[in-house]
Structure 1
């Protein structure tokens, strides 16, 4: 299992204040716990009530960053903005599975993009980089498996095989999708400088604490990463 993702230095021209927390989980021998079903509902209620205080400036910064690499944030918003819009429209969101519910709850409560991936499906390290347009992205359309290619200059997460997430954190691929609570997992919380550092730390702690409840006995490695580190 990889130790840390690799951040392309060119990201600094798009989002100079980018910083993130990488969380690797070894749950091969972990037990099986249960997530409090109220955690997602509580996070949704927090959004409806207007929280957190930094939500609007932080998500506006993400929209600005998307525009800098040619994306249209109104059509393809960052994952945190998409979740927030859904909750503000519908008043809540349905449960998907315990792991996804947990990281969606963190994303909503802290207005931060959060990704969860099957680390065993990765070939080499995850790279946050700019696409050249030839990379392969496996996805689904109308229920059928299909492949796409990112736009040249698009910010992508990828490994040695292909794209794992398009438009930074907009749409996740199928190959590395996380769909269980055992094995090796990787989570990343991505922030810009309009989000307080303490809030980033608190969001990561909420995720780690929830993972320990879901997978008692798992081993967790947590590290902050930044451009050029």
Structure 2
């Protein structure tokens, strides 16, 4: 279903959710975690309906747990279908997004690495067409990392988890990919950032945590 349908546009999503009696905050949450992915929207809608039809206060913890559980295969499939270059771009996107959230807590430097995005427009366009990321730049304009968002915020969490699960052999393999894309010093910067993520998982988990948003939206 996910691969057979194009990502839904904003009007499509509005029409899909028009019949669900939810608050603007909850509607915004669904858009954030599902984006325009048809399968993700279907799962989110079904879980939301399950919670609302009871007539009781929705169970935010159950919604968050079940959404992550039921969408895991989708995100895994998305990741497996990415090329090595696309995986590298998604990892760098995740690192840049963290860069903005961690503020003074971070201890890695990505300055100069953003050039990789301007050099791989085709891969970024492909990811956007698949609905993995959202490009806010007008068509035909050069895409920079500031123009890009993960269509689903959960996808960013998935990419970070993939970084955490990278063992030393995988890290060496990824270093080879980054060396094909970046200079030696830039590849070293990325490796240093990945190692920092390994060592500070608690800090990173707090930065990308989303259950509190579910609790707030359901309250």
Q: TM-score normalized by structure 2?
A: 0.29
Structure 1 length normalisation: TM-score? 0.28
Structure 1 or 2: more strand by fraction: 1
**Greater helix fraction, Structure 1 or Structure 2:** 2
